[in-house]
Amino acid sequence: MKLSSFLLRGFKIPGARFRGKVRMVKRVTPLALNDLRNDFKIEEKNMLYLRYPYLTLEQSQALTKELKKEKVKPLIKTVTLRDEKFSAKSTTLVDQLKLLRIKEDWDVIK
């Protein structure tokens, strides 16, 4: 089985098959031509939309200003909430190590 699959495998070019001096050239089929035509049609539609946009430059700038304002409001709200939560209260080393303190006479800070 292994010998027959080795002998019947046919000639295969090593390395990059579709480049170079001894390359394999794909045949052009009607299906490939049809796919290429469809790709060109889609590309032409995209270029049409890019050439003639729905909004003018001034309208799009006004729209982006409004959208930025709407996006910034929730961001400001979250930032203020975060700042309130982690506000820089006067935390000192003594305040942070307060939990480790044992209530004994020698350990009390006056």
Whether 13 has a pLDDT exceeding 70, the answer reads no
- For residue 53, give its domain range: 26-107
pLDDT, tens digit, for every residue of 22-74? 788 889 999 999 999 999 999 999 999 888 878 788 888 888 888 888 888 88
Q: Does residue 17 lie in a domain region?
A: no
Q: Does residue 18 lie in a domain region?
A: no
The answer to whether the beta carbons of residues 77 and 85 sit under 8 Å apart is no
Mean pLDDT, range 4-21, rounded to an integer: 76
Q: Where are the alpha helices (DSSP H) in the chain?
A: 2-7, 30-51, 57-85, 93-96
pLDDT at 31: 97
The answer to whether the beta carbons of residues 24 and 10 sit under 8 Å apart is no
42: which 2 tokens?
């889609």
pLDDT at 88: 67
Q: Which residues contact 32 (CB under 8 A, 6 or more apart)?
A: 26
The number of distinct structural domains making up the chain is 1
pLDDT at 30: 96
